[in-house]
Amino acid sequence: MTRDVFGNARSSRTAHLLVILICVAATFGRALHFDFVWDDRVLLLGQDAYAAFDLKRIFFSLANRLEYLPLRDLSYALDYALWGENPLGFHLTNLLLYYLNAVCVYAMTGRLATLLFGEERALTQQRAENAALLTALLYALHPIHSEAVNFISCRNVLLSGLFFFSSCYFFLRYFADPNEKRSASYAASLICCALAIFSKATAVVLPGVLLLMATFDARSWRAKLPRLVPFFAIALTAAILFKWVAAQSGLINPDHVIVFGSKSLATRLAVAAQIPLFYLGKLLLPTGLSAIYDLKLASGIGDPAVWLSALTLAAAASLAIRLGKRRSELPFALGWYLVTLFPVLNLYATNPIVADRYAYLPSYAAAFLVSATLVFALAKIPNIAKQFAAAAAVAILAFAAWTQSGIWRDDETLWRETINTTPTAWKAYNNLAAHYFAQAEYVEAFGLLEQLAERRQTDDTLRLFRARYALQQNDPRRAIELLDGHSFSHESPHQVSYLLGEAYERSGDLQRAIDHYSDVLNKGGNSPEEIVTIARARLERLQANVSNQLDERRRAVEANPSDLNRRAGLAIALDRIGLHEEALRHYAELSRQGGDNWSLYYNMGNALAKLGRHEEAVASYEKSIALNPDHAPSYNHAGIALTKLREYDRAIRAFETAIQIDPNFENAPFNLAALYFRLGERENAIRAFDRVRESFPQLKNQTNPYLEALR
């Protein structure tokens, strides 16, 4: 009977892989009958790059206009080629990928058992097999993975996990292979590392996991450290690339997300200290799993909850180190857990703050620790007792995962169950209402929205859907009445701008339509992608239409370049329709010919800010202020640009000056309060928002979400 690279009998390994296959299929196979849900309809369906199998766009652009993940996008294109838009095929691919993940966990754990327990615990073939099988089953059947398996938009999680575990397996094999095979194992690990990172950006921590593994090879780990340099180089290069792509596409713009202290390192550290315990609770007791969590975390570095979390982690680390010589699985599991969790600790603001899919890699630590404890640590307990405990754990997890998987059947089931689990997950109400609205079930949709308005004491979402209904009924004037002039919360500015753009376009007011479509794009990559795409197309069409009407004015300026009034009118018209670069050329010429003018520099600053050239915008605002020091909007816009540049002290002074100049100017007080909020200055933020609410009651819908988060 031949044996594999672990020294395991091939027939035994085949039986184990069959057991894993049966368990995965029995637990998650029902997904083959599920529909597309949630963001699947936005990020996947209707994407031309996938449907046309456009390799150029997949590998050299943002295929879904949101993220640069070419391997994930290639898998979507292959599914499109095989299945069209049939959800069965996409779910089948997810299921196969998940099974392969479990296989890689099985193979990696066998190698890991040899590394950690080979010498000190007299590792036998049977015990290594048992550890590998139990770890794979505990990992694969954990209900926290239901989101990754059933939500097609989580394809990146599955692909990244597959290559992540594969890279670890080959790196472990590199430790033990004969010299003639080591190069192949090392190369395979390096290639899988790159594939994992370009499947999901959070895999950049993989070199840290490999370093962790290397430190447990007591014989030669120092000699292996130089071999890790290429892994870290790949991760660093990818991180720089991802950040550049995100900045270029406007994705790094979390200001629409109401997260207290997002610009404060102390607040982020306080939140980060609590997140590991949240996921640990969900891994050990997987109840209350939800597609959306309404998690309230302490945000003050001195808060007792933060200190309790930090002390708990410190105690766990101390215990793991103290027992590490006898129980090497303890420091390894803790190290794996913290390293793989690092990218989602909200040190860099994530939206959402927590999600089940974020625990995909960290959850391996819990599965491995439990299996290692049963197989290796509890030597005095009879095997029959350990087998019963293992079987019971697997059965309980499988049933919980089967149940949790069912909520992903369709949008109605998903959002109904989310509301039941997390009654304050307001986005779930919105999404369920949107589902009913799309099905033309208006009674159910508006009934749900009225219930939401009563609970939240704001009718923002109700107004949005009524405006959408008015547009469906070809009543743009009614939509404008519902939206224009109403103070909406900071959570839905893109929908408001888009609907107003469509309403004004349909009513024939093209200039206002252009203004609102431009506003959608100016809000950056955080606007929902389908809205951005449609708004961009509509804006470009209207711009071309209006721009053609400006040709006569362009020719007049060319014929008489010294006519400053005509040039100024053209520049303002170009600016208003979003042709900011062309407008800036005329503003610059006006400055050269006409000398200093405060309104000229103010307009230049606004155009530069819309193009993302914030440093130049600040310089223009400063010139405007020097010529007209009593213009509050110049200080306010300078404050916004300075905030983008992270010059927070200067931004605060600019907002405060605007308030002093014009106490009735509502934008500056709100922007100042929002900045205090994001800087984690709780008392200043509460005081500033209270002042806004008292002085400007029309902004209550905008201030209330912040005050709710603060209190």
Q: Side chain identity at 672, as an amino acid letter?
A: L
Confidence at residue 77, expressed as pLDDT on a 0 to 100 scale: 92
Q: What pTM value is reported for the model?
A: 0.85
In the DSSP assignment, the letter for residue 178 is -
Distances (CA, A) of 576 to 555, 596, 607: 19, 22, 9
Within 10 angstroms of residue 659's Cβ, the number of other Cβ atoms is 23
The three-state secondary structure class of 572 is: helix
Give residue for tokens 């447990």. 216
The rounded distance, in Å, linking the Cα atoms of 654 and 614 is 15
Token pair of 439 as six digits:
């099905």
Q: Alpha-carbon dihedral of residues 588, 592, 596, 601, nearest 10 degrees?
A: 0
Long-range contact pairs involving 429-437 (C-beta distance under 8 Å, separation at least 24): 429/461, 430/461, 431/38, 433/461, 433/465, 435/411, 436/412, 437/465, 437/468, 437/469
Confidence at residue 12, expressed as pLDDT on a 0 to 100 scale: 80
Considering only CA atoms, which of 594, 592, 667, 657 is closest in space to residue 622? 657
Within 10 angstroms of residue 332's Cβ, the number of other Cβ atoms is 23
Confidence at residue 350, expressed as pLDDT on a 0 to 100 scale: 74
Token pair of 639 as six digits:
């404050």
The rounded distance, in Å, linking the Cα atoms of 363 and 136 is 11
User: Is the bond into 352 cis (omega within 30 degrees of 0)?
Assistant: yes
In the chain, which residues have pLDDT < 50?
A: 1-8, 121, 250-253, 525-526
Considering only CA atoms, which of 588, 584, 698, 602 is closest in space to residue 658? 602
**Packing angle, helices 580-594 and 598-610, rounded to 10:** 160
